[in-house]
Amino acid sequence: MSKAAQLGSGRFSGGLRTVSARRQAVAEATGVPTGGVGAPARLPVHRISPNPDNPRSKLGDLTGLAGSLKTNGQKQAITVMNRDAYTKANPDREADLQPGTTHVVVDGSSQLAAAREAGLHTLKVMVSNDQNTTSEEVLESALVANIHRQDLEKLDEAHALARLLAIYGSQRALAKRLHRSQGWVSQRLALLGLTLDLQARIGEEPINLLRAVGNKPADQQQSALDELKARRVQKDERKQARASHKT
């Protein structure tokens, strides 16, 4: 028996219930309940490693979340998988896991980091090992668990979708797997075609306009963006003129 498995059978892990992270994440994204989900258990924070494949490149300011966890407690369990299951699917990532941990977070990286910042000792968890058997499935679980949240960085989302596109082979297949339209996938992948200058301005420029010019040649993107912004201004001015005329 592996060291992680032995640790997993101790005081804090013996009663952990398993549920498919993929099923749970898809259920959250689509609103379709999974059914048969057991009650969450508690796991020591120091036994949970962050996920090296977390789609979020930045967790942001966790002060508010840490304060809420400390004052109001944890409202929703995070999803984790056994360390052995993770390393079996990702043998080349074992060195990236924190030493002494028995589980890896699949969905809940921000809560884990905030709990550590708040000095909490344990977190409520749901354990998923049964379907995350490949690195692709682990990535899919992490992405699907994040795409329905509004605070995922747009470029992080695009990079994660690109990795999944390499797995599924086509935008249509990927869109079907994520329960989204092909247009939704295509628009988000377009950000990866932007010049580095325009990528740096994500969050400053209108995101729908940036997505609209992402598939154009690099030397045409800035002028195309300027033209779209000018059209938007003209459209707004016409609306204001019509509204003033009516009054």
Instruction: Enter the tokens of residue 79.
Output: 């999803």
80, containing H or E segment: strand 78-82
DSSP letter (8 states) at residue 47: G
> What interhelical angle do 135-147 and 21-30 show, nearest 10?
30
Express each pLDDT in 149-179 by its tens digit.
656 788 988 988 888 888 888 999 989 888 8
Task: Name the band, by pLDDT with cuts 50, 70 and 90, for residue 147.
Answer: low
Most confident of the following: 1-15, 132-146, 181-195, 227-241: 181-195
**pTM of the entire predicted model:** 0.57
Over residues 60-66, the mean pLDDT reads 84
CA–centroid distance for 247 within its chain: 47
The CATH code that applies to domain 3-149 is 3.90.1530.10
Q: Out of 35-49, 95-109, 163-177, which region has the weakest mean confidence (pLDDT)?
A: 35-49
Write out the two tokens for 39: 């009650």
* Dihedral sign from CA coordinates of 25, 31, 33, 34: negative
What are the distances in angstroms from CA 186 to CA 25, 183, 216, 234?
A: 22, 5, 13, 27
The DSSP secondary-structure symbol of 200 reads T
The least confident of 23-27, 80-84, 173-177, 212-216 is 23-27
Is-contact 208 200, C-beta < 8 A?
Answer: no
Alpha helices in the chain (DSSP H): 3-8, 21-30, 63-72, 83-89, 109-118, 135-147, 154-168, 171-177, 182-189, 196-199, 207-213, 218-246
Q: 20 pLDDT exceeds 60?
A: no
All structural domains of the chain with their residue ranges: 3-149, 199-246
- Residue 205 gets which letter from DSSP? B
